[in-house]
Amino acid sequence: MKHSIAIILAAAFLGLTSQAALASDDGIDVEKLYSKNCKMCHGIDKKKTGPAFKDMSTDPAVLKSALTTDRVKMMKGVVKKLSEADVDALVAYIQENQK
Ligand code: HEC
């Protein structure tokens, strides 16, 4: 009896970890990235502390520069946490929401 519980637990654990691995294979969850790091200052179409995505530049190079340099002083803290892949995903996400 004890044994089978251990096997069930082990199977459940393996199931969970393989699911987590799958999720990260899918790449970046850009909506989550946005909610956690940007939403407090940028609405999709509503101005907050910073401009709404819809009011930003539509030039990907300009958007990227805001996320890779210290051009926007207020974003310094968040910019240094972003990987290159995060930046690309966020630029695409902003552009997607400007349509
Ligand atoms: C603490 C508030 C704050 C956070 C958090 C923040 N931003 Fe900003 N952001 C600003 C402000 C303020 C500006 C406008 C600065 C200016 O007008 O020069 C700005 C400007 C920008 C610009 C430049 C827009 C343009 O047209 O040049 C981009 C792109 C941008 N933010 C994206 C993001 C993304 C993506 C995130 C999340 C990873 C984020 N920001 C997080 C406050 C913030």
Kindly report, residue by residue over 54-92, the tens digit of the pLDDT: 999 999 999 999 999 999 999 999 999 999 999 999 999
Q: Is residue 82 in some structural domain? A: yes
In a domain, 45, yes or no: yes
Between the CA of 79 and the centroid of ligand 1 the distance, in Å, is 9
Distance 61 CA to ligand 1 centre (A): 14
- Give the pLDDT confidence of 76-86 residue by residue, as tens digits: 999 999 999 99
Domain assignment of residue 22, yes or no: no
Domains in the chain, number: 1
**pLDDT reported for residue 27:** 85
Which residues, 6+ apart, have CB-to-CB distance to 94 below 8 Å?
53, 56, 63
CATH number at residue 54: 1.10.760.10
pLDDT tens-place string over residues 5-59: 565 555 555 555 544 444 444 589 999 999 999 999 999 999 999 999 999 999 9
The predicted structure's pLDDT at residue 84: 95
Q: Which of 47, 53, 74 to mutate to test the pocket of ligand 1 (most atoms within 8 A of CB)?
A: 74
Does residue 1 belong to any structural domain of this protein?
Answer: no
CA distances from 37 to 7, 10, 17 (A): 40, 35, 26
